[in-house]
């Protein structure tokens, strides 16, 4: 229970059922290699935690943004509870360092994979809900996601990275982003995809995930970051030229 105890301290909550919390930290790949070492993996807790997290975030967004319509609230929630969004919350807890994953998964960087981190975060939320009840679990989720809940983001910034990248390419080049699978590793039930995205025959981003959609979303997000850096650099160069040209 040492791993669960250490993680419970990091959570800052009065966890009572350490065995349940430990189960939330066990990926199915680890249990496959250590069949008699635990009572189960975290997928059932993930199922429960998915609903817990969605309700907690929905309730908080409804209260925090009274002027938003259903579409805007849905976009805000989707940005927070997506694989990438939940992985961000998991990273704040250093959740990846506490996960038990199989050797093969660990070698493929599972502890940094957004989809796996998001699923583990949901499993932890499920375990806390069973152990501590709704109020404490809700307050914990909301406090952890406070920066995203409080953000006054525009609907454009909440749109999926793939949609934003396609809008940019259609506006600037008239072309569509091209996604290419670099690798598809692992068995059919537990694939890891690595994908790159090209714009005008230039690789702008790469991503990985348990599905093509997740990997493509990561690649698109990396491409948007690269384009934003270029835009900032171009603006800085223009400003420098203007300063040199001024008397």
Domain extent, residue 100, equals: 2-152
Integer distance in angstroms from the first to the last C-alpha of the chain? Answer: 71
Catalytic residue among 105, 122, 131, 196: 122
Task: Output the domain CATH number for residue 69.
Answer: 1.10.1520.10
pLDDT at 70: 87
CA distances from 101 to 6, 98, 113, 240 (A): 17, 10, 12, 51
Residues 137 and 54 in one domain: yes
Residues 173 and 219 in one domain: yes
- Do 169 and 185 meet the contact criterion of CB atoms below 8 Å apart? no
Instruction: Dump pLDDT digits (tens) for 131-171.
Output: 999 999 999 999 999 998 998 765 555 667 888 888 888 88
Number of compact structural domains in the chain: 2
Whether residues 30 and 84 share a domain: the answer is: yes
Shared domain check, 80 and 10: yes
* CATH code, domain carrying 216: 3.30.160.20
* Catalytic residue list contains 202: no
pLDDT at 194: 92
Same domain, yes or no: 66 and 178 = no
pLDDT at 78: 83
| Residues 6+ positions from 127 with CB-CB distance below 8 Å | 17, 20, 21, 23, 24, 45, 49
144 and 233 in a single domain? The answer is no
Q: Which of 46, 50, 105, 208 is catalytic?
A: 50
Residue 158, pLDDT score: 62
Strands, E assignment, the chain: 178-185, 192-199, 202-209
The edge-to-edge listing of strands for the beta sheet with 192-199 is 178-185, 192-199, 202-209
127 and 18 housed in the same domain: yes
Q: What would you report as the CA-atom Rg of the chain, rounded to the nearest whole angstrom?
A: 21
* Spatial distance between the Cα atoms of 116 and 97, rounded to a whole number of angstroms: 12
Among the candidates 97, 130, 152, a domain finishes at 152
Provide the pLDDT for residue 66: 94
Tell me: do 184 and 72 sit in the same domain.
no
Q: What is the pLDDT of residue 11?
A: 92
Domain boundary among 152, 179, 209: 152
Q: What is the predicted pLDDT for the residue at 138? A: 97
Say yes or no: 131 and 29 in one domain. Answer: yes
Q: Name, in order, each residue with C-beta under 8 angstroms of 232's C-beta and a sequence gap of 6 or more.
A: none
Domain stop point among 132, 152, 172? 152
What is the rounded distance in angstroms from the CA atom of residue 100 to the CA atom of residue 185?
20
Q: Is the same domain home to 31 and 134?
A: yes
| pLDDT less than 50: residues of the chain | none
> 106 and 13 in one domain?
yes
Q: Summarize pLDDT for 43-59 with one digit per residue, the tens.
A: 999 999 999 999 999 99
Q: Phi/psi zone of residue 143: left (φ > 0), alpha (ψ -120 to 50 degrees), beta?
A: alpha
Same domain as 37, residue 131: yes
122 is catalytic: yes
């Amino acid at each position: 229970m040492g791993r669960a105890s250490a993680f419970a301290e990091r959570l800052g909550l009065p966890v009572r059922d350490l065995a349940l919390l430990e189960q939330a930290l066990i990926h199915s790949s680890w249990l496959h290699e250590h069949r008699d070492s635990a009572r189960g993996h975290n997928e059932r807790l993930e199922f429960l935690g998915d609903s817990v997290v969605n309700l907690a975030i929905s309730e908080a967004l409804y209260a925090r943004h009274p002027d938003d319509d259903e579409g805007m609230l849905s976009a805000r929630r989707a940005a927070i509870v997506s694989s990438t969004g939940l992985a961000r919350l998991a990273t704040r807890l250093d959740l990846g360092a506490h996960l038990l994953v199989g050797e093969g998964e660990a070698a493929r960087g599972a502890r940094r994979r957004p989809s796996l981190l998001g699923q583990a975060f949901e499993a932890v939320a499920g375990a806390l809900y069973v152990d501590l009840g709704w109020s404490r679990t809700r307050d914990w989720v909301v406090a952890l996601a406070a920066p995203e809940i409080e953000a006054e983001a525009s609907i454009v910034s909440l749109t999926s990275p793939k949609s934003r990248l396609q809008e940019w390419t259609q506006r600037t080049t008239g072309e569509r982003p091209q996604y290419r699978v670099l690798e598809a590793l692992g068995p059919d039930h537990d694939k890891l995809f690595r994908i790159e995205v090209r714009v005008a025959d230039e690789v702008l981003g790469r991503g990985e995930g348990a599905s093509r959609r997740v990997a493509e979303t990561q690649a698109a997000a990396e491409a948007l970051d690269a384009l934003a850096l270029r835009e900032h650099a171009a603006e800085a160069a223009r400003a420098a030229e203007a300063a040199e040209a001024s008397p």
